[in-house]
Amino acid sequence: MTSNKHAFKAEVNKILDLMIHSLYSHKEIFLRELISNASDAIDKARYESLTDQSLAEGGEEWKIQLIADKEAGTLTVRDNGIGLSRDEAVEALGTIAHSGTKEFMKLLESREVKDNPELIGQFGVGFYSAFMVADQVTVVSRRAGADAKHAIVWQSDADGTYTIDDTEKATKGTDVILTLKEDAKQFLEEWELRKVVKQYSDFIEYPVVMDVTRSKPDPEDKEKSIEETVEETLNSRKAIWLKDKSEISTEEYNEFYKHVSHDFTDPARVIHYRAEGTVEFSALLYIPSKRPFDIFYQDYKVGPTLYVRRVQIMDHCEAMLPSYLRFVKGVVESADLPLNVSREILQDNRTVSVIKKNLTKKVLETLAEMKKEDAEAYGNFYEQFGRVLKEGIHHDFERRETIAELLLFESTKTEPGKKTTLAEYLERMPADQKEIYYITGTDRASAEASPYLEVFKEKGIEVLIMTDDFDDIIISGLGTYKEKEFQSAIKGDLDLDKQDKEEKKKEFGDLLELMKEELKDLVAEVRISGRLKDSAVCLVAGEHDLDPKMVKMFQAMGQ
């Protein structure tokens, strides 16, 4: 091995393997991914050159160029954006940047990904999709502002290794050169490139250009025609979020979603509106249909892409959406913010908090609407993102009642796999029932097998089944729903059977005393219970004790 040869990280090989062998459909998306990277690179150069003029390097027009060379069998995607230094190339094109590699590998090998290879889109692996159509990929790049001599050439045949060498490059930016596979030669054809750009990258802000040859009448001899090569822009470059709703097709909405989210699947819902008033802004937000694998990771990026007067300021503006709505993707553009906003400024900017409030309201309203209009779609949404949304009960005190309306639970009265809302539970509740009963458990079957449920079963009382590990915290955070208290089926004294119990207490008083004495180091109290039917005894937690499952969770966390 020569010194400039590097091995890919294991997860990259795994991704490449999936890309090349499992993703057969829609190979043309490689172009969307490369154009999207080129556009990101120009965004960065443009943004950085606002404060450092030298990075613009004389200020030629920002653009993305497609160069098809039929003789060589190569397609080049060229940009004049920020470029890559050697270190950046090693990091960006040899690893997959995120935490939790082990879990990530497990996920890659899971059935879910094997059956839905499109899921790999979310992993931030766009660049590697080039290998779906190319036997060899070469990247020639120079960082904006660096000397022409300090450029690099990166190359790989997807055989587990890549090389990286020094080279010279007069212009800043990156050339991605694909040596196309035999069965991908159509991507050298003008009409094919035109079609793919139109379909997937029409809204890209910068011109995507290509040299096309046209014939025109020869001015010398009208009978003849001459060939002329002109640079043509293939995309319409309209910022889709600024367009009128009526001008946008579902396909366009979906394509733009894939651009901002890196997801390969269509979104579940589109939220597109323009707010006018004290603060003016346009928002195009999406509710995805699949949960990204890293939504519970620490470094998961929250918030929409922020534009100010058509300039992308940051790709995730976390000050614009609460963390419990972090599944929402999209773009917000406002002219009411300065171009040079920093994250620090955004944290306590009044305009930003007005926008955040508005977006939060809109997303919660959309979910409520979805629940009302299409229970199945909402059920799917909840399956994917319910756990995240639920965090809002804990973190957004002001809106906890609105969020409570959006919760779904299984219960002893729902069919397996079906869920109920709290409102529906209340509707079914007999007039004399005062509390909302719930039981926690790792899954429905084990919760239903609990002896604590015996009395509820006998009396036909519905009990909500909560299977998420933090449900107990969520429910105590919520406290009540429509003035009804939540009561754990495993905790404290239940209101059921009071009278019956008084009589039994007299009858068994001596036995209770004896048991209390014998067990005094082990339990706080011994009581007659109205809740057991088939079992002789059971242990219950005190009213203010933590749920036994929570105790276990805290123990596991070492607390």
The interface with ligand ADP within residues 36-55 (CB under 6 A) comprises 37-38, 40-41
Q: Say which amino acid occupies 349.
A: N
- Sketch the per residue contact string, 171 through 210, with ligand ADP: x for CB under 6 A, - otherwise: ---x------------------------------------
The interface with ligand ADP within residues 20-39 (CB under 6 A) comprises 33, 37-38
Contacted entry of Mg ion, ligand ADP, none for residue 530, CB cut-off 5 to 8 Å set by kind: none
Tokens of 261: 């989210």
The nearer residue to ligand ADP, 263 or 471, going by C-beta atoms, is 263
**Candidate list 127, 253, 297, 300; residue touching ligand ADP; CB under 6 A:** 127
Contacted entry of Mg ion, ligand ADP, none for residue 271, CB cut-off 5 to 8 Å set by kind: none
- Min separation Cβ 132 and ligand ADP, Å: 13
The interface with ligand ADP within residues 241-270 (CB under 6 A) comprises 262
**Candidate list 73, 94, 100, 124; residue touching ligand ADP; CB under 6 A:** 124
- Min separation Cβ 274 and ligand ADP, Å: 28
Q: CA gyration radius for the chain?
A: 30
**Which residues share a beta bridge with 348?**
none
539: left (phi over 0), alpha (psi -120 to 50) or beta: beta
Stretch binding Mg ion (CB under 5 A), from 29-37, 313-321, 408-416, 525-533 = 29-37
Stretch binding Mg ion (CB under 5 A), from 12-20, 30-38, 148-156, 425-433 = 30-38
Site for Mg ion contains 126 (CB under 5 A): yes
462: left (phi over 0), alpha (psi -120 to 50) or beta: beta
- Min separation Cβ 68 and Mg ion, Å: 22
**Residue given tokens 């123990």 in the structure block:** 555
How far separated are the first and last CA of the chain, in Å rounded?
49
421-438 residues labelled b (16+ CB within 10 A) or e (exposed): bbebbeeebeeebeebbb
CA 132 to chain centre: 24
Site for Mg ion contains 384 (CB under 5 A): no
Q: Say which amino acid occupies 252.
A: E
Q: Which of 43, 27, 28, 41 is nearest to 78 (CA)?
A: 41
Site for Mg ion contains 37 (CB under 5 A): yes
Q: CA distances (Å), 334 to each of 49, 108, 249, in order?
A: 21, 38, 23
Q: Which long-range contacts (CB under 8 A, 24 or more apart) does 362-369 make?
A: 362/271, 362/273, 362/283, 362/285, 363/271, 363/285, 363/287, 363/321, 363/325, 363/328, 364/399, 364/402, 364/403, 364/406, 366/269, 366/271, 366/287, 367/287, 367/406, 368/402, 368/405, 368/406
Site for ligand ADP contains 84 (CB under 6 A): yes
Q: Which position's Cβ is nearest ligand ADP?
A: 126
Strand 281-287, strand 480-481: pairing: unpaired
The whole-angstrom separation of Cα 74 and Cα 179 is 5
**Candidate list 10, 90, 92, 239; residue touching ligand ADP; CB under 6 A:** 92
The nearer residue to ligand ADP, 76 or 421, going by C-beta atoms, is 76
> Do the beta carbons of residue 132 and residue 23 sit within 8 Å?
yes
Site for ligand ADP contains 337 (CB under 6 A): no
- Min separation Cβ 300 and ligand ADP, Å: 14
- Min separation Cβ 84 and ligand ADP, Å: 5
Stretch binding ligand ADP (CB under 6 A), from 122-130, 319-327, 361-369, 429-437 = 122-130
The nearer residue to ligand ADP, 172 or 491, going by C-beta atoms, is 172
Where along the sequence are the contacts to ligand ADP (CB under 6 A)? Answer: 33, 37-38, 40-41, 79, 81-84, 92-93, 124-127, 174, 262
Where along the sequence are the contacts to Mg ion (CB under 5 A)? Answer: 37, 126
